Amino acid sequence: MMVQAEVSLYPLGQGGLQEPIAAFVDELNRRGIEGSIGPMSTRLSGEVTEVFEAMGAAFAQVADQRGVVLVVKVSNACPAT
């Protein structure tokens, strides 16, 4: 099943937002999930299992280094753009 997701990663407790967000998106890309990066969130699309596996791996990679919050909205009914 194809899904679309909107994700927002919020690094906590340390300065510098760009590095952890870039690391998160790089891991998604490495796993074949391309995102459309916006000023407040990133939009993803792909096969449901691939999207969730990539998000989990990307979150774990960043969370191993610092505190973060990941907010995710997923839909199987939104048209891909």
Predicted local distance difference test score (pLDDT) of residue 23: 92
Residues 6+ apart with CB under 8 A from 33: 44, 46, 50, 51, 54, 55
The angle subtended at Cα 45 by Cα 57 and Cα 23, nearest 5°, is 35
CB atoms within 10 A of CB 12: 9
CATH code, domain with 45: 3.30.70.930
* Total structural domains within the chain: 1
In a domain, 16, yes or no: yes
State which residues of the chain have pLDDT below 70. 80-81
- Structural domain for 67, as ranges: 2-75
Predicted local distance difference test score (pLDDT) of residue 81: 57
In a domain, 11, yes or no: yes
Which residue bears the tokens 């790089």? 26
Burial of 32 (0-12, 13-18, 19+ CB in 10 A): exposed
Bridge partners for 9 per DSSP: 70
